[in-house]
């Protein structure tokens, strides 16, 4: 693991982070990964942050102490299904940090949180079929394609399989 990755931290996201979250979801490269724009106006940011941090959704900011912005992205858990024992994972980085192994690091740490906190057997990751980065990341971390349609690819990982 390189030194920069070793210094990354996951810290729960709060309403104090709204400015960074709006900046993240205003980035045109980030938006190309989404069918619907997650935050349409700055005024929606508070509701968005509340939505991804409450009522069965948990979000961490990924902190890089060596970066000017400090917050380099986020990763989230949502849709915990206690019957099916599944939970969905997602994440977004500012584009200047893509392809450096950072989200692999974040997801692996979130897998540990899932194992410790939730009775979950399967982790679900959904993205668009054209999102080669997200699909590559998921496959590298042991997810397998379960469903593929024109607008969505659903990948699933058995949490108890070693990467």
Q: Does 59 bind ligand COA (CB under 6 A)?
A: no
Q: How many CB atoms lie within 10 A of CB 86?
A: 17
Pick the binder of ligand COA from 71, 123, 137, 153 (CB under 6 A). Answer: 137
125 contacts ligand COA (rule: CB under 6 A): yes
Of these, 22, 58, 60, 102, which contacts ligand COA (CB under 6 A)? 102
Least distance in angstroms from the C-beta of 108 to ligand COA: 9
Q: How far apart are CA 11 and CA 88, in angstroms?
A: 19
Instruction: Select the residue whose beta carbon is closest to ligand COA and give its number.
Output: 136
Per DSSP (E only), the strands in the chain are 9-12, 58-63, 71-81, 86-93, 122-127, 144-148, 153-158
Contact residue for ligand COA among 71, 123, 134, 156 (CB under 6 A): 134
100 contacts ligand COA (rule: CB under 6 A)? yes
Distance CA 134, CA 153 (A): 10
Q: Which of 63, 76, 69 is nearest to 9 (CA)?
A: 63
Would you tell me which residues interact with ligand COA (CB under 6 A)?
Answer: 30, 33, 73, 90-93, 98-104, 125, 127, 131-134, 136-137, 140
């Amino acid at each position: 693991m390189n030194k920069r990755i070793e210094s990354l931290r996951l810290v729960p996201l709060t309403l104090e982070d709204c400015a960074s979250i709006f900046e993240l979801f205003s980035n045109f490269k980030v938006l190309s990964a989404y069918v619907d724009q997650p935050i349409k106006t700055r005024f929606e940011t508070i509701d968005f942050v509340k939505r991804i941090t409450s009522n069965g959704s948990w979000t961490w900011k990924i902190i890089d102490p060596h970066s000017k912005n400090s917050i380099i992205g986020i990763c989230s858990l949502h849709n915990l299904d206690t019957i099916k024992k599944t939970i969905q994972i997602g994440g977004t980085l500012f584009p200047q940090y893509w392809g450096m192994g950072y989200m692999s690091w974040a997801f692996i740490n979130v897998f540990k949180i899932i194992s410790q906190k939730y009775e979950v057997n399967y982790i679900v990751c959904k993205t668009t079929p054209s999102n080669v980065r997200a699909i590559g990341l998921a496959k590298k971390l042991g997810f397998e394609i379960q469903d593929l349609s024109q607008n969505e690819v659903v990948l699933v990982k058995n949490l108890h399989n070693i990467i």
